[in-house]
């Protein structure tokens, strides 16, 4: 005990300042020497104690917190807390959390305790404070507590590139269990997986995880397109390179379903996956949509040219009187009506229209040549 009383006003100012250096927590046994040094360098006057032991500091701080207007509160013997949020001195906390969540999507309470250098007995108090202010969100509780970025902090910091990090580690848009744990840097427990799914980051595919970003789904769709490409090529070859749009989509869906149950497991992005598969097939195979059909353009045009030329030769070799272009059309058009490329009427009519147009062009060219020669 000092022979003279402690200057509690000076001690309170020093203690709150030191507490703010440790996110509001003041551990006398840890920082007592620093508090004493600052106290000794302060002019406290001849009637106040000029030096304090750690025990003196604890006793004096207990007197400080007993004042109902004090902003310092006692958590337990030798441990005090000065609320940095109430006074607006919380920038270091939000900055540290933002930096942390730019490195990790999910953190454990142990990680938070280590990051903020808080005693194990105080981590629940601290996380409750952060949750109350929506800077943290509890993902799971039990044997281990997991936390992620809270809504208030998310407004300030955003998602910190979570989608990009998940996509970067993915293979064809999917992550293995081990790859996922490397990204989130914690054990991928069922609670954590449920959180990631609820937040729209991943979809659980029974031990693999589809990343829900647009880029990852596009990459996954391209992978599936590669798996079914040969069968799609065959389907177009068998239908003169033209299919009704709905038939094409149904065929793609059936081929994907035959190889994977992803469409059943990822119902929420089912249409996005199928769109991604079709987009990739359009690019790979040179497909075009010309409502109401989808055609493999170069191959279809070659087929149309070939069939129009065959019908022109057949008309020319017929016994019909062919004095005018109209005569050619009168003979050739009924032949074109017999062309069938499949069972779908839409595709048949589309192919006939294209062949008819090309046939008429060939006939007109031939008559122009004959007229120029004559």
Looking from the CA of 74 toward its CB, the CA atoms found within 13 Å total 15
* Owner of token pair 């949020």: 85
More confident of the two residues 229 and 200:
229
* Residue 11, helix vs strand vs coil: helix
Is the CB of residue 32 less than 8 Å from the CB of residue 40? no
Number of domains in the chain: 5
Nearest to 327 by CA among 312, 337, 342: 312
Do 132 and 175 lie in a common domain? no
Do 175 and 143 lie in a common domain? no
The pLDDT of residue 349 is 97
Residue 2 pLDDT level (bands cut at 50, 70, 90) = low
Q: Which residue among 82, 114, 131 closes a domain? A: 82
Alpha carbons 342 and 66: distance in angstroms, whole number: 90
The pLDDT of residue 1 is 45
> Which residues have a Cβ under 8 Å from the Cβ of 100 and sit 6 or more positions away?
107, 111, 112, 115
The pLDDT of residue 326 is 94
Nearest to 220 by CA among 230, 229, 210: 210
**Range in 153-162, 268-277, 333-342, 357-366 with the lowest mean pLDDT:** 153-162
* Residue 104, helix vs strand vs coil: coil
pLDDT winner (highest mean) among 5-14, 167-176, 184-193, 247-256: 247-256
Angle at 163 between CA 228 and CA 154, to 5 degrees: 155
Residues 202-258 have pLDDT tens digits of: 999 988 999 998 999 999 999 999 999 999 999 999 999 999 999 999 999 999 999
Residue 183 pLDDT level (bands cut at 50, 70, 90) = confident
- The reply to whether 245 falls in a domain is yes
- The reply to whether 2 falls in a domain is no
Q: For residue 322, what is the DSSP state?
A: -
Cis peptide before 111 (omega within 30 of 0): no
Do 70 and 139 lie in a common domain? no
Quick one: CA torsion of 193, 197, 202, 208, rounded to 10 degrees?
A: 50
Do 59 and 78 lie in a common domain? yes
Nearest to 78 by CA among 1, 2, 10, 15: 15
Do 369 and 346 lie in a common domain? yes
Do 129 and 170 lie in a common domain? no
* Owner of token pair 């402690």: 6
pLDDT above 80 (res 95): yes
Do 152 and 169 lie in a common domain? no
- The reply to whether 361 falls in a domain is yes
Do 311 and 292 lie in a common domain? no
Do 227 and 263 lie in a common domain? yes
- The reply to whether 195 falls in a domain is yes
| Residue range(s) defining the domain that contains residue 251 | 216-296
More confident of the two residues 288 and 165:
288
CATH code: domain of residue 140: 1.10.10.10
- The reply to whether 1 falls in a domain is no
* Owner of token pair 């249409």: 271
Alpha carbons 43 and 355: distance in angstroms, whole number: 103
- The reply to whether 194 falls in a domain is yes
- The reply to whether 279 falls in a domain is yes
Do 151 and 181 lie in a common domain? no
Averaged pLDDT for residues 294-314: 97
81 phi, psi to nearest 5 deg = -135, 130
The pLDDT of residue 8 is 82
Indicate the pTM of the whole model. Answer: 0.73
């Amino acid at each position: 005990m000092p022979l003279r009383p402690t200057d509690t006003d000076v001690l309170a100012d020093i203690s709150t300042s030191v507490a703010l250096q440790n996110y509001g927590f003041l551990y006398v046994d840890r920082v007592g020497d620093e508090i004493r040094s600052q106290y000794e360098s302060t002019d406290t006057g001849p009637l106040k104690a000029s030096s304090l032991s750690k025990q003196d500091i604890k006793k004096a701080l207990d007197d400080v917190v007993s004042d109902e207007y004090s902003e310092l509160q006692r958590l337990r013997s030798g441990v005090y807390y000065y609320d940095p949020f109430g006074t607006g001195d919380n920038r270091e906390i939000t900055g540290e959390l933002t930096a942390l969540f730019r490195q990790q999507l999910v953190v454990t309470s142990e990680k938070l305790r280590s990051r903020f250098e808080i005693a194990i007995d105080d981590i629940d108090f601290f996380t409750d404070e952060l949750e109350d202010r929506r800077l943290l969100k509890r993902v799971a509780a039990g044997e281990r507590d997991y936390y992620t970025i809270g809504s208030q902090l998310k407004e300030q910091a955003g998602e910190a590139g979570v989608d990009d990090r998940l996509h970067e580690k993915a293979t064809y848009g999917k992550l293995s269990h081990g790859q996922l744990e490397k990204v989130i840097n914690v054990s991928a427990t069922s609670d954590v997986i449920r959180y990631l799914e609820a937040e729209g980051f991943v979809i659980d595919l029974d031990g693999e995880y589809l990343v829900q970003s647009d880029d990852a789904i596009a990459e996954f769709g391209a992978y599936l397109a590669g798996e079914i490409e040969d069968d799609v090529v065959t389907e177009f070859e068998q239908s003169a390179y033209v299919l009704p749009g709905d038939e094409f989509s149904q065929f793609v869906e059936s081929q994907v379903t035959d190889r994977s149950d992803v469409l059943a497991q990822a119902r929420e992005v089912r249409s996005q996956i199928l769109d991604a598969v079709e987009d990739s097939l359009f690019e790979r195979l040179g497909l075009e949509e010309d409502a109401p059909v989808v055609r493999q353009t170069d191959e279809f045009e070659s087929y149309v040219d070939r069939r129009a030329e065959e019908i022109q030769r057949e008309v020319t070799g017929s016994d019909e009187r062919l004095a005018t272009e109209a005569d050619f059309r009168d003979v050739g058009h009924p032949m074109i009506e017999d062309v069938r490329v499949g069972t779908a009427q839409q595709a048949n009519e589309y192919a006939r229209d294209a062949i008819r147009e090309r046939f008429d062009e060939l006939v007109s060219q031939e008559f122009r040549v004959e007229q120029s020669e004559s």
